[in-house]
């Protein structure tokens, strides 16, 4: 066997071993996530709250209790979390929103939310439906929108010029 073939076989074996390890680690992480979701659902309470503000910010700047900040892993402290400041009864609290719920939370409105500790897992509106968040527009969609608005402006200018030309012809 040539040295190139041996190197390729070693790389192939390592890649297969890596894929197998990732499969089992992924399965383990998925089980852990399901257990955490079940625990969150068991501890969830439905609360009426007035949303004051929502931002993505670092955990140390979020206004969460110091105990929560101390318990977060070191790697997580630098990442930005979806933080919601809400008035629950007479108290103003900072809460962490689930990523899937964060975009649906309306500002300056009263909502009914499912809260587990300081974690918002579900949001429904008290009055009427929640406004659907607009997804991020693709580059192509924005370009088409710009072109359409430019064409509309051009048509308006053409009509204005034709009107001016007609009024000048009538005066002559």
Domain chopping of the chain, boundaries? 43-138
Q: How many Cβ atoms are within 10 Å of 152's Cβ, its own excluded?
A: 10
- Would the CA dihedral through 74, 77, 82, 86 be positive or negative? positive
Q: Sign (positive/negative) of CA torsion 153, 155, 161, 167? A: negative
- pLDDT for the residue numbered 172: 63
Contacts of 124 by beta carbon, 8 Å cutoff, 6+ apart:
111, 112, 113, 130
pTM of the model: 0.64
Backbone angles phi, psi at 16, to 5 degrees: -65, -40
- Mean pLDDT in order along the chain per 10 residues (172 residues): 92 97 96 92 90 91 87 87 93 91 90 91 84 79 92 91 81 67
Indicate the fold that domain 43-138 takes in CATH: OB fold (Dihydrolipoamide Acetyltransferase, E2P) (2.40.50)
pLDDT of 20 reads 97
Burial of 86 (0-12, 13-18, 19+ CB in 10 A): buried
């Amino acid at each position: 066997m040539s040295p190139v073939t041996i190197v390729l076989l070693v790389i192939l074996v390592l890649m297969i071993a890596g894929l197998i390890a990732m499969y089992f680690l992924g399965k383990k992480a998925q089980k852990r996530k399901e257990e955490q979701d079940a625990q969150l659902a068991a501890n969830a309470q439905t609360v009426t709250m007035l949303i004051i503000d929502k931002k993505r910010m670092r955990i140390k700047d979020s206004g969460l209790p110091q105990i929560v900040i101390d318990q977060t892993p070191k790697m997580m402290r630098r990442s930005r979390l979806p933080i919601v400041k809400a008035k629950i009864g007479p108290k103003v609290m900072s809460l962490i929103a689930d990523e899937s719920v964060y975009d649906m939370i309306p500002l300056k409105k009263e909502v009914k939310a499912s809260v587990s500790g300081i974690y918002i897992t579900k949001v429904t509106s008290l009055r009427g439906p929640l406004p659907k968040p607009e997804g991020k527009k693709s580059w192509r969609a924005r370009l088409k929108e710009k072109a359409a608005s430019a064409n509309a402006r051009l048509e308006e200018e053409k009509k204005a010029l034709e009107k001016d030309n007609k009024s000048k012809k009538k005066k002559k």
